[in-house]
Structure 1
Amino acid sequence: MSDETQDLNEETGATAAEETPNLDLVVNIESPSACERHVTVTVSRADIDRYFDDAFSELVPSASVPGFRVGKAPRKIVESRFKKEVSDQVKGSLLMDCLEKIGEDKHFAAISEPEIDLEAVEVPDTGPMTFEFDIEVRPEFEMPQWKGLSITRPMHEFTDQDVDDQLESMLTRYAQLVPSKEPAQVGDYVTLNLKTSFEGKTVEQEEEIIARVRPVLSFTDCELEGFDKLMEGAKADDKKTAQVTLSADAPNEELAGKTLDIELEVLEVKTLKLPEMDEDFLQELGNFESEEALRDAIRQNLERQLEYSQQKKAREQITALLVESADWDLPPGLLKRQSARELERAIMELRRSGFSESEIRARENQLRQNSNASTATALKEHFILERIAEDEEIEAEEGDYNQEIFLMAMQSGESPRRVRAQLEKRGLMDVLRNQIVERKVLAVVQENAEFQDEPYEPQSRDTVEAINVAAGGAGEIHEAVEAKKEAEAEPGDDTKE
């Protein structure tokens, strides 16, 4: 554990133009880990007295004290009567100004708000004031030479067949689901009742889930391989059983890494009826004047997805350069708090790159299944790219925000104004800022790189069907589910187990 003590004795001649008064602080910083700091701050008595003096000087002219006209009570009486209120005010002002000063002096690059136990902080009657806080910071590391890198770059010339395949995939999003009496085939849809259990006890139940028959059924905490073989030939009332193993990062920590039994009851089989490519449908898709205009838009979308893959590949290679110096232990609490924001960032990136909602769901489930590992990788990448951004003075501008929001709106079919409002309401504009800056940094890195082209192999669009269900549930095993079933079952009811 490193321990650096820094005496910040500042000159006392503060000017009126300064927003924060000069403070005579002693700051002691301990480093429990690369991304954690425990900070102890000592404020001089002179500063405390000055803050009290300023607070009472402001209060006296308007103080209301019984027996005196407003503003006419002697200062000593005002000080005695309002000591507690002013003390709380001084404590708040001192804490805020101290934190601001520490930030200005750049002892570390904070990535979270400080954790301070306000109740434990007291302003003493005599002597200095001391308070402590914990804060998460960007780790310090040596940057490698990133200019002149040799980067592998996926390249592809999209053909008419690529556009045909993408168009067919797009049309399925607007197709009608038509009930079928035929057994299920790959590409069909099945309506299912789902139940998972562990050691005979029900864990999770979901009814009337609609899923497309594909090789993999992706849950938020696991994957069911061979879903297509399991469902092929199935018809209404059939029951299929399999097993799934929950990821180590499953939300149900009790069952993380455990193997569950899964039962799928087929309620109905449906097939797709694709829409006609007529004028009305082209207008519904996006006011396209012709099928050729639609195909041009699809080709542009494919180019955006290729750009996404190129930047993802470059990002991975840049991060690989720091393997030796980036082996920081990231605190579990940091990973847990940042995992949701990293998931949001990844989804926003996929959305602006033109991926479909089903593809985004599949990627989202994959990230959830490996949340700690994916978050740790993403944070390390972010720390590296942010350092380059600072060195190169790269920032996000208003036009960048407008462009990103426009691309996300195109993918979702919503207006840019609505997309921006949603981002602001959910507090995600800083996530969008990081996305913009990181993309700009990657562009600069690639401008200074030497490229080795390789064939671009897009991930198959027809392999994974993602559903928003946690096979392991969100918490403890639901023994109450079985108890309720038994309590509700009539004597002789054949549903009672």
Structure 2
Amino acid sequence: MQVSVENTSALERRMTIGVPAERIEIEVNKRLQQTARKAKIPGFRPGKVPMSVIRQRYEDGARQEALGDLIQATFYEAVVEQKLNPAGAPSVEPKTFEKGKDLEYIATFEVFPEFTVAGFESISVERLSADVADSDLDNMLEILRKQNVSFEVVDRAAQNEDQLNIDFVGKIGGEAFAGGSATGTQLVLGSGRMIPGFEDGLVGAKAGEERVLNLTFPEDYQNLELAGKTAEFTVTVNTVSAPTLPELNETFFKQFGIKETNIEGFRTEVRKNMERELRQAIKSKVKNQVMDGLLAANPIEVPKALLENEVNRLRVQAVQQFGGNIKPDQLPAELFEEQAKRRVELGLIVAEVVKQFDLKPDDTRVRELIQEMASAYQEPEQVVAWYYKNEQQMNEVRSVVLEEQVVDTVLQKASVTDKAVSYEEAVKPVEAPQAD
């Protein structure tokens, strides 16, 4: 087998492969002999059909099959021989494809980039530390109560946090517009569910009252046809209901699947959940800074095949998340290219760190992570046992631990600053940069 390789770009390779005719004929004959053993042809007993008849009937198909298998086999042999690492399937272009002659074809493909991860010392990380104070716990209990609020109809003027049952009709230039009207809808004043001014305009209204609100849609409103336009809403208030927060009692505790029947036990369980959330938030923020630093310090070229695969994966995820009667390939690729590029780059960089430092998942950390996740359930021992019986889930946990070990490896050389903050600041999500 003859092989020559041409570098057509930083990652693209054009490989010409020649396969001797003798090897082709050996493979064709193998297939014909297999066919002869089971072929059923009128006038001949099974297994007794002359090879000349078999060749006449089946040689073309056997040759096509042999050529296809040989291309796959010889491509693999060639990349191993040339020590190449393809990043996707090749595009194959036959040069000679004639019976009795050597097979020659060209395989064009991309390879994984070769690089060494560096620049750990240039990465700066701010590592937060915080505790769950009693005041943080009190605030969380109030949030839980508000999430389970009930409403009772009252005979008074509406206030913020009241729930109103309303009918409304919206018009622009005297004409009703799509989505601008509703009947019997429930609206909590101060929730920010409606456009600015709508909820404020109903404060003080009573059941049976009609109010006319002249409002302007925000310039960045999601429906571009309405953005920046002025509309008139005629709103009829059907009922006004006041909020009632639930008592912190056994009935309330049971809603959260907690066995505790007293407030002290409930506070203990909530605190455990908050501390777990705090640890995860701090770990996530450190990881994001490390990954951003690795990307900035190690610019690499991404194989198009990997980028395309990741775009398609994100398309499928988007359809699964948002639903609708749409196929993944109907979503524009450019919507996902930036995110896909970041994912592929990080995947390649993290894999190279693992290789450079010969990292392997730490079994102790794997078990600790499983126990941490299981602690959120009522029967943690059963959850731990389930993980250890499910190899796919175990591999996912090992991947997470290996990524944590990559972060730890970088932190040993990075510039790390510790900062004590409040619980609220520590768990607050990092705002994504706004696009133009």
TM-score (norm 1): 0.57
Q: Distance in 2 between matches of 1:192 and 1:401?
A: 56
Alpha-carbon distance in structure 2 between the residues aligned to 1:100 and 1:150: 43
Offset, 1:242: 1.4
**Conserved 8 A contact 1:191-1:269:** no
- Counterpart residue identity of residue 455, structure 1: A
Alignment CA distance shift 1:447-1:216 (3 Å): farther
Contact 1:41 1:130 in 2 (8 A): yes
Q: What is residue 282 of structure 1 aligned with on the other side?
A: 253
Q: Which residue of 2 aligns with 1:114?
A: 89
2:126 match: secondary structure? strand
Q: CA deviation at 1:155?
A: 1.0
SS at 1:86's partner residue? helix
Structure 1: distance between partners of 2:167 and 2:112 = 46
In structure 1, what is the Cα distance between the partners aligned to 2:426 and 2:157?
26
Kindly provide the CA deviation profile for residues 423-448 of structure 1, in whole angstroms up to 9, marking residues without a partner as x: 99xx9998877545423422443466
The 8 Å contact of residues 20 and 102 in structure 2, kept in 1 or not, is answered as: yes
2:293 matches 1:326: no
Amino acid aligned to 1:326: P
Q: Following the alignment from structure 1 to structure 2, what is the Cα–Cα distance between the partners of residues 39 and 206?
A: 62
Map 1:154-233 → 2, pairs under 5 A:
154-176=128-150, 183=158, 185=160, 230-233=198-201
Partner SS state of residue 218, structure 2:
strand
Secondary structure of the structure 2 residue equivalent to 1:323? helix
In structure 1, the gaps of 5 or more residues are 1-8, 10-23, 218-223, 348-368, 464-497
| Residue number among 313, 330, 349 corresponding to 2:285 in the alignment | 313
The 5-angstrom pairing of residues 77-476 of structure 1 reads 77-94=53-70, 96-97=72-73, 101=77, 107-108=84-85, 110=87, 114=89, 124-125=98-99, 126-130=101-105, 132=107, 139-146=113-120, 151-176=125-150, 183=158, 185=160, 230-234=198-202, 240-245=215-220, 272-289=243-260, 290-318=262-290, 319-323=292-296, 325-326=298-299, 328=301, 333=308, 336-340=311-315, 372-394=337-359, 400=366, 407=373, 410=376, 435-446=400-411, 451-456=416-421, 458=424
CA gap 1:309/1:164 in 2 versus in 1, 3 angstroms? same
**What amino acid is the match of 1:243?**
P
- Do 1:386 and 1:438's aligned partners in 2 also have CA atoms closer than 8 Å? no
Paired positions, count? 389
Look up the equivalent residue of 1:276 and give its one-letter code.
E
Compare 183-192 and 294-303 and name the one that shifted more. 183-192
What amino acid is the match of 1:169?
I
Q: CA deviation at 1:60?
A: 2.9
Question: Cα offset for 1:67?
Answer: 2.8
**CA distance change for structure 1 residues 329 and 151 in 2, over 3 Å: closer, same or farther?**
same
Call closer, same or farther: CA 1:44–1:211 in 2, change over 3 Å.
Answer: farther
Measure the CA separation in 2 of the matches of 1:462 and 1:273. Answer: 28
Aligned partners of 1:154 and 1:309 also within 8 Å: no
Give the Cα–Cα distance (whole angstroms) in 1 for the partners of residues 369 and 357 of structure 2: 22
Tell me, in whole angstroms, the C-alpha distance in 1 between the residues paired with 2:297 and 2:336.
23
Distance of 1:272 and 1:116 partners within structure 2: 65
Q: 1:299 to 1:94 in 2, by over 3 A?
A: farther
Q: Is the 8 A contact 2:160 2:190 kept in 1?
A: no
Which secondary structure state, in structure 2, belongs to the residue aligned with residue 151 of structure 1?
Answer: strand
The alpha carbon displacement at 1:161 in A equals 1.3
* Contact 2:126/2:286 (<8 A) preserved: yes
Quick check: 1:154–1:310 contact (8 Å CA) kept in 2? yes
Pick aligned residue for 1:68 from 39, 44, 49: 44
Cα deviation, 1:17-63, whole Å, max 9, x if unaligned, reads xxxxxxx65555644x76xx465563513553443243334333223
Whole-angstrom CA distance in 1 between matches of 2:372 and 2:169: 38
Q: Distance in 2 between matches of 1:54 and 1:124?
A: 19
Q: Aligned pair in 2 of structure 1 residues 69, 370: CA closer, same or farther (>3 Å)?
A: closer
Q: Which runs of 5+ in 2 are unaligned?
A: 322-333, 430-436
Q: Counterpart of 2:120 in 1: which secondary structure?
A: coil
Distance 2:273 2:352 in 1: 31
- Asked if the contact 1:401/1:432 (under 8 Å) is kept, the reply is no
Structure-2 change in CA distance of 1:179 and 1:338 (3 Å): farther
Residues 51/30 of structure 1: CA separation in 2 closer, same or farther (3 Å cut): farther
Alpha-carbon offset, residue 273 of structure 1: 3.8
For residues 241 and 96 of structure 2, what CA distance do their matches in structure 1 show? 68
Q: 1:285 to 1:25 in 2, by over 3 A?
A: farther
- Conserved? CA contact 1:152–1:314, under 8 Å: yes
The amino acid that maps onto 2:299 is A
Distance 1:175 1:374 in 2: 39
